[in-house]
Amino acid sequence: MVSAGELLLLAGLVLAAAATGDPPGKPENVFCVAVQEKTTISSTFRCDWATVGRQTSDVPTKYTLNVVVIHIRNYSVSTEGTHAQVEFVDTYPHFMTLEIWVEAHNMLGKIESERITQDANSFVKTNPPSDIKVISEKYFPTSPLMNWTQPINKSYGKLKYEIRFCTSGSPNWTYVPKGDIATDIQSFRLQSLQPYTEYITQVRCQLGHWSDWSGTTMKTAEDRPTSKPDLWRTIAEVDGKNERRVQFISKDPVFANGRIITFDIKIQEQKNDNLQWDTILVNGSESSDGQRVITVLKDMLLADLRPVRLCVTANNSVGTSPMASLFISAKGREDPPVKGLKVWSAEGKLWLQWTPPNGPDLSEYVVEWVSGEQTDWQRENKNTRLTAIKGNLEGFVRYTVSVYSIYSGRIGKPASKEAYLKEGAPLEGPVVRLNDKPGRNEAELGWVEIPLHRQRGFIVNYTINYTGGGETHEVTVPGNTVSYTLKSLSSNTKYDTWINASTVRGSAQSSTHSFTTLKYAPGEVESIVVGVSLGFMFVVLMTMLLCLYKKDVIKENVWPRIPNPGESTIGNWSPDYPLKAETPKENCLSGISVQDVDVCDGKSVFEEDKACLPLKKDKYLSEEHSSGIGGSSCMSSPRQSVSDSDEGSDMADTTASTVQYSSVVASNGYKGQTPNPHPQQAVFSRSESTQPLLDSEENPDMMIQESSRQSQGFKQENPAEIHLLEMDQQQEEEGVESLGFCPLDEESEQTKPSEGQSAASSYMSQREGYRPQ
Amino acid sequence: MNGHVKSMHFQRFMETATTLLSLLLVMAFDSSRTVAASRNQQCGDYVQKSLKLSRLLQKESVDLIKTYKASQGEMSELFCKVSVNNVPDPNISGLEPSEKIASIYTHLQEFFPHFEWVYEQQTDLQLPTSPLLSDLRRFTAGSRNLAYLIKPFYQSLFPNVPLPEGGPTTLPPPQNIFQQKVYGCVVLKTFKELLSNVSRELRSLKSQVCRRRTHTNTLF
């Protein structure tokens, strides 16, 4: 039979087997503390610990905090958490020994933590020291006195202290060595602080555990400046003069140890100058961002060939700093610069690297950065090869960075580079314009560079876009270009153009500029006009020359001499040849028949007489002849004047020549009347005009013989005669053509031989010139 | 075996015995020194703690008296100047350290009933939230802790001499309010004097008892 105990044991085993869990883990890191309450220590004693091992809800672990006040009392409190507290009876057991441990137990076991046996005071955490004051004394600017009030009466125990301090804004604390701080004190004199510097000072105390820190902010007193002013200069060339504008500038000494009130300067231009010190008042403002204020000491014009030295000291309310000096060499006599200067941006800073120069007496370097009117600098040790600019640089601003070698106070030649801390796209595009009026197929584009403060980076290239005539083009030019000629443009076409200025970070587009190409190239119209004008002028000139050269002919043809009836008298003149009856033509003037006397007489014949020509052909073979009216005119310009004379406009005009103009044929043939078949002895009457006579009229015999020969010739050699006449006519035509006259028709040409026969004879005499009457 | 041989054996035996004895003595001396050192340290700790606690209690008694006076109303400055019977003697008696330590312990124990009596009286005279009451409780508890430190100190020094627990305490007869106020102030002031005497005695006992024991052990 199974006993009850065995049943219980079995049940426990079953439960244990069924439960999923582990035995309790040993509590670790038991930490106990009693805090200060007002002026005493609280009787509440709190302990925390860490659990180890798996905690499950099936097998919960219970913790018991045991606190034994040796020789007095035991305290214990249980919890399932990781902290507990006991209340000492009425008072904290100062100076008594406490033994503390934590017991963990669950269904599967029990375990204790390590036992802590310590004086009760070792668990006390007091309040931090209060009423902290730091007094900086005028004569001990680097050793301010720190006072405080201890948080608890020293009868509770001697408090240890810890003190630390740092400059405002700095994360690095400086701790006073613990061995330097005695126990149970309420003041301490700090050492080795910087004058005129703001510090945060803190103190904490310890009875058992360290208290919290408590502190205050203070500023140490001023002291005499212990470093030199940071002296530098800017130099600008003066246009048109062999001078430089030199401006001496200075920053406060690094260890100004107070507010700099004045600078004392001394300028030495000659070797043995012994000048007095001048005092420069300093602007009262102090730098707010940790950067030292720059003061302008002296602004002067310095001849290129003259050197100058400036010495400066800085003064605060306590004293004067050591002296700094700067020597500016004559132009062209500077010491050699550094080599291989490189400038680049990395990690939010502008870095510089260089190779030292070969000059002796190198003492240090000065790194200068200039942006617009602002200049700043920093000094570097002579062994420096790589550094970063420590000043506050702005992004998107172009800096001219220079490295100067300093040789015992003499400034060497700079090595400079331009750089950006950070580049961006330009804020605006360039201003586009045409450099000149557009041409027919090309246009020269120009653009104004983007202002430096709006570039925000180095312009790498310009991309010129232009669109017109339905096409778009793009051209990329280097960033240092300011103009470009667009070619192969269509004439008389409107183009829109814009330019993108690009940096490595982006680009900005300009506004669109429009222009229209010319229809004609410049000067084309003028050349055409000039050409035409020249041609016209040439023609006119040639015509004038021709007219001058042929003026006689023209004169004869255009202005035939018409005898002035008013100056003529009737005279008798009888030739020795039989007269032939002629059939008067109806259209001829009574008593006067026109006779062509020119080679081209056929052409000079009046139109109205042309119908009569066939008739006249026969008539002319007779002894009767007649002189032509307007013969001179026919001579001169029969081509033109015929038509002109047809119009009858200029017939009355006579020339100064005295060509026989007319002869009166004594005929009884009136127009339309039948001529007398029996020729009678012709008695000519002629007017005694100043007109020269025709040969035929003067030598009628010759004329008859010639005419008879010619007629025989014609009869016998008609083809030849015709050919001659044709040749004559051709000559006439050529002459006419050369003068631009209109050729005659065939009929009139065919009639020419007969007319020309007699006319040629008479013309020939006329051709021979003037025959005085 | 001849006498010469026998004497040689004896000599050898004696030498060995002497050597062993010396060794034992040295071991005994060393162990005693260790024990003495630990005892010395323990002695010093007790004295040190007792001294510190008595100084703390002295300081707290000053504050307590101030608080007491401030809580008693008018004419409180006069209360502590009145002599009262039945208040325990603050002087430490005895010539020997054991007597002095025992005197310290018994005198401390004698004041505890009077503290309780004053606390009860003030409970009737003060508001429950009066700081005097909490200060009285804390001070009384601290004083008991001092007595709890003296006891093991004595027992560590004189384990074979029982520490006297002190005689019965004689509390004053029923008093009126004025008498109660006076009584309370006199008790606190007297105890403060006791604490001063205790501190003095403990300082002298530290050099007497702890150093003497070391010296004694060294001689031994």
* B13/chain A closest Cα distance in angstroms: 51
Name the band, by pLDDT with cuts 50, 70 and 90, for residue A676.
Answer: low
**Over residues A224-252, mean pLDDT:** 91
Q: Is the model more confident about B29 or about A179?
A: A179
To the nearest whole number, what is the mean pLDDT of chain A?
78
The tokens describing A291, both together, are 């950067």
Q: How many CB atoms lie within 10 A of CB B135?
A: 20
Q: Is the Cα dihedral B183, B185, B191, B197 positive or negative?
A: negative
CB-hemisphere CA count at 13 Å for A174? 13
The pLDDT score that the predictor gives to residue A642 is 38
State whether residue A173 is helix, strand or coil: coil
Q: Is the Cα dihedral A94, A34, A149, A191 positive or negative?
A: positive
**Over residues A379-395, mean pLDDT:** 93
**Which ranges constitute the DSSP H helices of chain B?**
3-71, 76-79, 97-125, 131-157, 177-205, 211-219
User: pLDDT at residue A720 above 70?
Assistant: no
Cα–Cα dist A468/A497, whole Å: 9
Cα–Cα dist A434/A483, whole Å: 9
Inter-chain residue contact B59 with A153, CB threshold 8 Å: yes
* DSSP assignment of B18-53: HHHHHHHHHHHHHHHHHHHHHHHHHHHHHHHHHHHH
The pLDDT score that the predictor gives to residue A755 is 43
Assessment of whether the complete model's pTM goes beyond 0.90:
no
Inter-chain residue contact A91 with B151, CB threshold 8 Å: no
The tokens describing A371, both together, are 């942006």
The pLDDT score that the predictor gives to residue B34 is 60
Q: Which residue of A has its CA nearest to B48?
A: A95
Cα–Cα dist A679/A577, whole Å: 10
Closest CA to A663 of A613, A759, A595: A595
Q: Is the model more confident about A620 or about A392?
A: A392
Closest CA to A97 of A116, A120, A66, A76: A120
Q: Taking CA A511 as the corner, what is the angle to CA A507 and CA A514, rounded to the nearest 5 degrees? A: 130
User: pLDDT at residue A442 above 50?
Assistant: yes
Contacts of B145 in chain A (CB under 8 A): 72, 91, 93-96
Q: What letters, b where the CB count within 10 A reaches 16 and e where it falls short, cover A380-399?
A: beeebeebbbebebeebbbb
Cα–Cα dist A384/A354, whole Å: 9
- Residue indicated by tokens 């080795």: A192
Span A678-711, pLDDT tens digits:
545 555 555 555 555 555 555 555 555 554 454 4
The pLDDT score that the predictor gives to residue B189 is 93
The tokens describing A214, both together, are 């408590």
Task: Please indicate if any CB of chain B lies within 8 Å of the CB of A38.
Answer: no
Inter-chain residue contact A95 with B55, CB threshold 8 Å: no
Give ipTM to 2 decimals: 0.81
The pLDDT score that the predictor gives to residue A42 is 94
**Which ranges constitute the DSSP H helices of A91-141?**
none
The pLDDT score that the predictor gives to residue B29 is 65
**Over residues A399-407, mean pLDDT:** 93
State whether residue A263 is helix, strand or coil: strand
The tokens describing A529, both together, are 């006009």
User: pLDDT at residue A651 above 70?
Assistant: no
Cα–Cα dist A515/A435, whole Å: 12
Contacts of A43 in chain B (CB under 8 A): 138
Backbone angles phi, psi at A212, to 5 degrees: -75, 165
Contacts of A71 in chain B (CB under 8 A): 148-149, 151-152
**Over residues A94-100, mean pLDDT:** 94
- Which among A43, A96, A119 has the least Cβ separation from residue B145? A96
Q: What letters, b where the CB count within 10 A reaches 16 and e where it falls short, cover A123-141?
A: bbbbbbbeebebebeeebb
Lowest-confidence segment of A390-399, A433-442, A752-761, B90-99 by average pLDDT: A752-761
* A82/chain B closest Cα distance in angstroms: 30
The pLDDT score that the predictor gives to residue B77 is 81
- Residue indicated by tokens 């054996």: B9
* DSSP assignment of A594-653: ----STTHHHHS-HHHHTTHHHHHHHHHSS---PPTTHHHHHH-HHHHHHHHHHTSSTT-
User: pLDDT at residue A460 above 60?
Assistant: yes
Q: What percentage of chain A carries pLDDT values higher than 90?
A: 45
State whether residue A307 is helix, strand or coil: coil
* A131/chain B closest Cα distance in angstroms: 22
- Strand pairing of A28-37 and A124-125? parallel
Between positions 101 and 120 of A, the ones with CB within 8 A of B are 119
Q: Is the model more confident about A7 or about A202?
A: A202
Inter-chain residue contact A96 with B56, CB threshold 8 Å: no
Q: How many CB atoms lie within 10 A of CB A343?
A: 22
Inter-chain residue contact A94 with B56, CB threshold 8 Å: yes
Span A244-281, pLDDT tens digits:
899 999 999 999 999 999 999 988 876 666 666 777 77
DSSP bridge partners of A75:
A67
User: pLDDT at residue A400 above 90?
Assistant: yes
In angstroms and rounded to an integer, the radius of gyration of the C-alpha atoms of chain B is 27
Inter-chain residue contact A71 with B148, CB threshold 8 Å: yes
The pLDDT score that the predictor gives to residue A312 is 92
Cα–Cα dist A481/B164, whole Å: 114
Q: Is the Cα dihedral B38, B44, B50, B55 positive or negative?
A: negative
DSSP bridge partners of A233:
A248
- Give the A:B interface size as CB pairs under 8 Å: 45
Q: Taking CA A351 as the corner, what is the angle to CA A346 and CA A352, rounded to the nearest 5 degrees? A: 150
Chain B interface mutation, best of A91, A118, A156, A158, highest count of B Cβ atoms under 10 Å: A91
Closest CA to A664 of A633, A612, A629, A618: A629
Inter-chain residue contact A95 with B149, CB threshold 8 Å: yes
Inter-chain residue contact B142 with A40, CB threshold 8 Å: no
Task: Please indicate if any CB of chain B lies within 8 Å of the CB of A277.
Answer: no
Closest CA to A593 of A576, A574, A617: A617
State whether residue A514 is helix, strand or coil: strand
Inter-chain residue contact A72 with B137, CB threshold 8 Å: no
Spans of chain B, pLDDT less than 70 = 1-7, 28-39, 211-220
The pLDDT score that the predictor gives to residue A142 is 94
Name the band, by pLDDT with cuts 50, 70 and 90, for residue A10.
Answer: low
The pLDDT score that the predictor gives to residue A620 is 41
Cα–Cα dist A532/A530, whole Å: 5
The tokens describing B76, both together, are 């409180």
Cα–Cα dist A305/A307, whole Å: 7
Q: Environment class of residue A110 by beta-carbon count within 10 Å: exposed (0-12), middle (13-18) or buried (19+)?
A: middle
Cα–Cα dist A612/A581, whole Å: 16
Task: Please indicate if any CB of chain B lies within 8 Å of the CB of A628.
Answer: no
Amino acid at A267: I
Closest CA to A486 of A513, A450, A458: A513
DSSP bridge partners of A262:
A281, A315
Span B122-144, pLDDT tens digits:
999 889 889 999 999 999 999 99
Lowest-confidence segment of A627-631, A655-659, B68-72 by average pLDDT: A627-631
Closest CA to A501 of A522, A517, A480: A480
Q: Is the model more confident about A448 or about A722?
A: A448
- Residue indicated by tokens 């005092």: A279
Q: How many CB atoms lie within 10 A of CB B13?
A: 10
Lowest-confidence segment of A134-148, A524-538, A576-590 by average pLDDT: A576-590
Q: How far apart are the first and last CA of chain B?
A: 43
Between positions 68 and 87 of A, the ones with CB within 8 A of B are 71-72
**Over residues A117-142, mean pLDDT:** 94
Q: Which residue of A has its CA nearest to B58?
A: A155
